[in-house]
Structure formats: C-alpha cells, structure tokens
C-alpha cells in the first residue's frame, strides 16, 4: 500500500509545501513572502488566511485534491515542552499554542491550518520534533533566577534530521555520537547533542544566543529593563523589536543574507562588520556547547539557509575548527524529515506519543 502525504513547513518569510508519495517527493514549492506582504499583519496568527490560501493554491496548481491524502504533517509550533517524537495535532496542543505562553512563531499558524484541513477532510494530522522539543539536562535549566528558568526553544526538526544524516554518513548511530548542530536561518539555534538528545541550546526564538537575520539574541539585561520601562514602546512593539526587527534587520534593514553579501561585495564596511559579528556570536555559542559536552565532540554541523554563505561559514570555521571537524549541510532537510515521520506513523513503525 502506498501513502500520500501533505507536508507543511511555515517559516518567517516563506511557506514551504510538498507532496510525498511514500518517501518520494513529487511536488514542492517554497513560496517566499516579502516584508511588504507581511508587514500588514500585526501578528503571525493574523497571517492564517494568507498562508492557507497559498497552500491551497499550491495544491490546485499541481492537480492534487486533499481528499486523496493519507496524512498531513506540519512543522510543530510553540506548544508546551515535550520530548522528541511524533505527536497528533489536536485541540489540547492548539489551545496551548493559542495561549502564546510558550512563544509566538509562524509555525503556530501552520499547526492551525493543518488541523483545520484535517478536520474538513477527516485526515490524521501530526507533527514531529517540534520547536518546543525539550531534552535539557537539569543543569541547563538554571538561569540565575528561579522565576526565569531556561527553556528549550530550538530548530529541533532540522537539527535532529541533520544529526541523523551525519551519523548515517559515517556509519554510526546518532545516539552514540556527541555533536554540535548550528541551524543558521531566520533564527539561529546551536544545540549540544549528547547521544541522541539535545541537552542544551540557546533560545532561538526570543531569548538568547547569537543575533540572526531578524532576531536580537542575547541583550544587555539592565539596559533592556530600562528600555522597557521608558514607556516609548508597547509590549507587542518591544517583542517585535527582538523577534522580527532585530539582528540584521535592525543593523542593515534587511533579513536577507544574500542582500548583505551584495552590500559587502559593493564595499559596504558596515555590512561586512555586522555579518562577521553574527559569525562571531555563532562561533561563541558553538564554543559554549563544546563546554557542555566536556570537549568530547565528534563533529560540528552547520545547516540552514545561511550555511550556503562561504563567507559566513569560513568565519565560523576559523574560530571553531579546533573543537572538531566542521561539516556543512546547507539548506534544510525539514520536509523530508517530516515526511519520514509521517511514514513511520502510517506504517506503524513509530506510535504517536500522548501530548
């Protein structure tokens, strides 16, 4: 028996959609959305109708009917912390996502759209290795204030898929390796993978680590508190500053690595310094992960769209190659990873976990 899967992966500036028959990808598009298109929506949830229409147009233009699918698999949103694995997207998860208490991200919208389509066409709807995958070990949860524990918010899907890909390439099980995986995209997360579990990582959404194309990363705490109490910006505006308008957007008014590269090629010294500063912060976070793993690191893996930048990855390599071999996996393997998760569920290889 063959299966047909609809794969959905919503990113900050793109809607990735694919159709798989078993493990074979038969149609795929990455629908890019400009800042001009997105700026009219105050919050990610306000983009639901816009993103849903893009997905339905993709299906229609490729001649696929939702009634013919076996399963919908969506990139997981900001639900409560859960371990890695496959989970149903159901009302309890959606309620936690809608509350916003675990974070606001466009992947939340993907889960809502997937659920609505599943209800309409009576299809199972699942997710796997969500952004709230939490496998931290106890020491990683301490922040310095008991009221503010550190939480796991990472690109778990791509990090774990990349780690498994590397493990397969050297003929060793993922759960027998110690790896540092850096996902370099609109957000940046660096995870310390200890024998198959991500035991520590920076909060890639709005909390810590390197600044990224559109997120501010770690900020000076005292200065941030003072800024918040000046009353010049609302809570929502402040959140937008650190998640959406931070990083490259704040310094260079673009969240595109390609545009920054073009500026550098034209002799823009500020662009070069900001881009190198981002590489420096990524390297510093990789060094912190090496300490987490007590220096026992099999490899450092760089993945995500920014890993295509030779300039950026060379700057990172200069600072971290002493730790372990640095291996590049440009782009992301998230669509295939989601499809593989769907197939493990549909074929009974892996049971759904209870949310």
- pLDDT tens digits, one per residue of 189-225: 999 999 999 999 999 988 799 999 999 999 999 999 9
Q: What pLDDT is stored for residue 14 in this prediction?
A: 84
Q: What pLDDT is stored for residue 25 in this prediction?
A: 97
Residue 284 has pLDDT above 80, yes or no: yes
Q: What pLDDT is stored for residue 102 in this prediction?
A: 87
CA distances from 192 to 117, 213, 285 (A): 36, 22, 10
Q: What pLDDT is stored for residue 323 in this prediction?
A: 98
| Gap between the Cα atoms of 131 and 155, Å rounded | 5
Mean pLDDT calculated for residue range 124-130: 95
Mapped onto helix, strand or coil, the DSSP state of residue 190 is strand
Mean pLDDT of the chain: 94
Is 154:189 a contact under the CB 8 Å cutoff?
yes
Per DSSP bridges, beta strands 299-304 and 178-184 are parallel
With a pLDDT cut of 70, the percent of the chain lying above it is 100
- How would residue 332 be classed by pLDDT, with cut points 50, 70 and 90? confident
Choose the weakest-confidence range: 30-44, 116-130, 141-155: 30-44
Q: Domain 4-132+334-346: which topology? A: Nucleotidyltransferase; domain 5 (3.30.420)
| Gap between the Cα atoms of 49 and 35, Å rounded | 17
Question: Comparing C-alpha atoms, which of 64, 327, 34, 46 is closest to residue 180?
Answer: 327
Mean pLDDT calculated for residue range 316-340: 94
Q: What pLDDT is stored for residue 301 in this prediction?
A: 98
Helix or strand (DSSP H, E) at 93:
helix 91-99
DSSP per-residue codes, 228-274: HTT-SS-HHHHHHHHBTSSTHHHHHS---HHHHHHHHHTT-HHHHHH
Domain boundaries, the chain: 4-132+334-346, 138-324
- How would residue 105 be classed by pLDDT, with cut points 50, 70 and 90? confident
Mean pLDDT calculated for residue range 173-178: 95
| Gap between the Cα atoms of 162 and 159, Å rounded | 5
Residue 34 has pLDDT above 90, yes or no: no
pLDDT per position as a tens digit, 227-277: 999 989 999 999 999 999 999 999 999 999 999 999 999 999 999 999 999
Mean pLDDT calculated for residue range 58-83: 95
Residue 117 has pLDDT above 90, yes or no: yes
Choose the weakest-confidence range: 9-18, 57-66, 136-145, 294-303: 9-18
Mapped onto helix, strand or coil, the DSSP state of residue 102 is coil
Q: What pLDDT is stored for residue 63 in this prediction?
A: 96
Q: What pLDDT is stored for residue 90 in this prediction?
A: 95
Is 253:35 a contact under the CB 8 Å cutoff?
no
More confident residue, 153 or 39: 153
Those residues with Cβ within 8 angstroms of residue 110's Cβ, 6 or more apart along the chain or in another chain: 8, 9, 10, 51, 74, 75, 77
Q: Domain 138-324: which topology? A: Nucleotidyltransferase; domain 5 (3.30.420)
Q: What pLDDT is stored for residue 178 in this prediction?
A: 98
Evaluate whether 4-132+334-346 and 138-324 have a shared fold: yes
161-171: buried (b, 16+ CB within 10 Å) or exposed (e) per residue? bbbbbbbeeee
Q: What pLDDT is stored for residue 41 in this prediction?
A: 78
Q: What pLDDT is stored for residue 262 in this prediction?
A: 97
Q: What pLDDT is stored for residue 201 in this prediction?
A: 97
Q: What pLDDT is stored for residue 259 in this prediction?
A: 97
Those residues with Cβ within 8 angstroms of residue 61's Cβ, 6 or more apart along the chain or in another chain: none
């Amino acid at each position: 028996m063959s299966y047909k899967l609809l794969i959905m992966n919503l990113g900050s500036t793109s809607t990735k959609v694919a159709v798989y028959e078993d493990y074979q990808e038969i149609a795929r598009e990455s629908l890019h959305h400009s800042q001009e298109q997105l700026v009219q929506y105050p919050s990610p949830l306000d983009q639901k109708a816009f993103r849903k229409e893009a997905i339905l147009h993709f299906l229609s233009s490729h001649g696929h009917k939702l009634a013919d699918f076996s399963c919908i698999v969506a990139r997981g949103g900001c639900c409560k912390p859960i371990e890695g694995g496959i989970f149903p997207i159901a009302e309890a998860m959606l309620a936690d996502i809608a509350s916003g208490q675990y974070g606001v991200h466009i992947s939340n919208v993907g889960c809502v759209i997937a659920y609505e389509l599943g209800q309409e066409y009576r299809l199972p709807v699942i997710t796997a290795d969500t952004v709230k995958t939490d496998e931290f070990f106890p020491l990683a949860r301490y922040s310095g204030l008991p009221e503010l524990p550190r939480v796991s918010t990472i690109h778990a899907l791509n990090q774990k898929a990349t780690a498994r890909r590397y493990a397969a390439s050297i003929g060793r099980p993922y759960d027998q390796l110690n790896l540092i995986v850096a996902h370099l995209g609109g957000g940046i997360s660096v995870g310390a993978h200890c024998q198959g579990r991500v035991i520590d990582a920076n909060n890639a959404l709005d909390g810590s680590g390197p600044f990224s194309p559109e997120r501010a990363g770690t900020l000076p705490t005292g200065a941030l508190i003072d800024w918040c109490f000046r009353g010049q910006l609302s809570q929502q505006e402040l959140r937008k500053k650190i998640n959406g308008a931070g990083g490259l957007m704040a310094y260079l008014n673009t969240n595109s690595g390609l545009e920054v590269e073009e500026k550098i090629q034209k002799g823009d010294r500020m662009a070069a310094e900001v881009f190198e500063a981002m590489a420096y912060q990524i390297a510093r976070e990789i060094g912190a992960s090496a300490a987490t793993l007590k220096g026992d690191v099999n490899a450092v893996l760089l993945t995500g769209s920014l890993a295509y930048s030779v300039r950026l990855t060379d700057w990172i390599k200069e600072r971290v190659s002493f730790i372990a071999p640095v291996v590049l996996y440009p782009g992301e393997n998230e669509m295939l990873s989601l499809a593989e998760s769907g197939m493990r569920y549909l074929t009974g290889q892996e049971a759904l976990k209870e949310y």
